[in-house]
Structure formats: structure tokens, C-alpha cells
Amino acid sequence: MEKQISEDVWETIVGELPCSTATTDCLNQLQNKALQSSKLLREIDTKVEEATERMEDAKRRNLDSIAISTFSPFMQTFLYSTLGPVSNGYEPAINNPFRLIFGNLASALLGQGLGRLFNWSAIAATDGQQSRAIQIGDLQIKIVELQRNRAEIADKLREKVVKEALKLEGYARNFQIDKEIAKRERQRLEISKISYKFGEGDSEKYLAKLSAYDKQKATTWRSWSRLRSRLTIVKILVLGNQDD
């Protein structure tokens, strides 16, 4: 029994856990490892990163549309009107350069064609800017919510690690006590066996010692089983699902 529950076996069972005691340093190590191994936290981080990229892209597109919409009215003025103000129905001496070169009809046709070519206001419409502004605001709210949820999940995970590590410490302590009691019962049994061989004592006393040792050995095995089960819970909590 002692060979099967030795320190070497315990170290093997502990596996990749950084430690298995309830000291402050060990608890910090277990908490940090649990946060790093959490699949849920990694998924939230990915969503935050994606939402941030979408928000930055919307900001860039909104700035581009504002620049284009500022440039477009200048092109419309240049293509469709004179270069000076109109007063009392008379045009000033300096007309739109296309009119000076091609005349009224040709310049009008050319101006309309180029105007359509450079008229990006449909792309950079005010409605589009407002829509992107709303989208940016929604993404900002989503990012804040994701970050808040992540912080709450991380806090709960830290608390659970501490709780389970303390339970593991208690199970380990109980197992050590049961193991020592079993060890003493085995020593008593060995003494009774020697005495019985040399004619001291009787069969009833020897069988009573043997029964007491068997009962304590069963108790120790139950403590060992509970300890291993609790260790498995801690490993899953701290290391995550190793199959992922």
C-alpha cells in the first residue's frame, strides 16, 4: 500500500500542475496558470480583438468618407458653375474654364460627365457617416461589455482555484493522518503475529488485530481515492481540458 501511494507516485499524479499546496505563492501560481489555460477567456480575448479591429476599420472609413464629401462639393462648383458670383442674371467675365474652351453645350456635357465621375457623395453620404458612427458606438459598448465579462469570469476563476486548492489541502491532510494510523495498525499486527507464533496471545486477539488493520487500510484507500478525485478537479480547473 505504501509503495502505491508514495511521494514519487504523488508527484507523477500531480503532473503539469506548478504546485499542489495551499501556500500563498502556490495559490498565485495556480491562479495564473488557470487564467492562461482558460478556453473561455481566450475566446473572449479573440472577440475583443475582432471587435476592436472592426471599430478601427469603421473609424478609418468614416474619416475617408468625410474627406471625400468635403472634396466633392468643390468639384461640383468647379464643373457646373462659373468661377465668380452671378449678379442680376449676368455672368462675370471669367467663366468655368470648360465653357471658355468648348462653349456652353459641350462644356455642359463634359462637366456632367466629369461631375458623375468625381461625385463620391453617394459613397460618403451623411447617412453613411451616421451609420458608421452608430456602428462605432455599438462596437465600443460591445468591447466594454466583453471586457467586463472577462474580468468577472477571471475573478470567479481565481476564487474557485483558491477554494478547490484549500479542499485539496484538507483531503491531503486527512489522507496523511489515515496513512499514519494504518502504518501503526500494521506494526501492532506484526507484533501480534510474532507473539502468536511463540504461543503468546490467542487466535481471537490476533484476528481482532488483523480486522482492525484491514478496516484502517480500507479507510486509507478511501482517503487516497478522494484525494486523487479532488486533485483531478484541480487539474481540470487549472490546466483546462487537455484534449482541446
Residue 2 within a domain = no
Per-residue exposure over 155-183, b if at least 16 CB sit within 10 Å of its own CB, e if not: eebbebbeebbeebbebbebbeebbebbe
Residue 58 within a domain = yes
Q: Determine the Cα–Cα distance for residues 221 and 198; give it in Å rounded to an integer.
A: 32
Q: What is the pLDDT of residue 244?
A: 43
Residue 114 within a domain = yes
| CB contact at 8 A, 243 and 202 | no
Residue 124 within a domain = yes
**Total count of domains within the chain:** 1
Residue-level pLDDT, tens digit, the chain, 244 residues? 555 556 656 777 788 899 888 899 999 999 999 999 999 999 999 999 998 888 888 777 766 554 445 444 544 444 444 444 444 444 444 445 544 454 444 545 555 555 554 444 444 445 566 676 777 778 888 889 999 999 999 999 999 999 999 999 999 899 989 989 998 999 888 888 888 777 777 788 888 888 999 999 999 999 999 999 999 999 999 998 654 4
Q: Determine the Cα–Cα distance for residues 148 and 141; give it in Å rounded to an integer.
A: 11
Total count of residues recorded for the chain: 244
Q: What is the pLDDT of residue 234?
A: 94
3-state secondary structure of 83: coil
| CB contact at 8 A, 182 and 216 | yes
Residue 75 within a domain = yes
Q: What is the pLDDT of residue 4?
A: 53
Whole-structure pTM value: 0.62
CB neighbours of 100 closer than 8 A, spacing ≥ 6?
none
Nearest Cα to 43, choosing from 159, 197, 135, 146? Answer: 146
Q: Determine the Cα–Cα distance for residues 72 and 217; give it in Å rounded to an integer.
A: 90
DSSP label of 7: H
Residue 244 within a domain = no
Residue 161 within a domain = yes
Nearest Cα to 169, choosing from 24, 20, 10? Answer: 20
For residue 130, give its domain range: 7-239
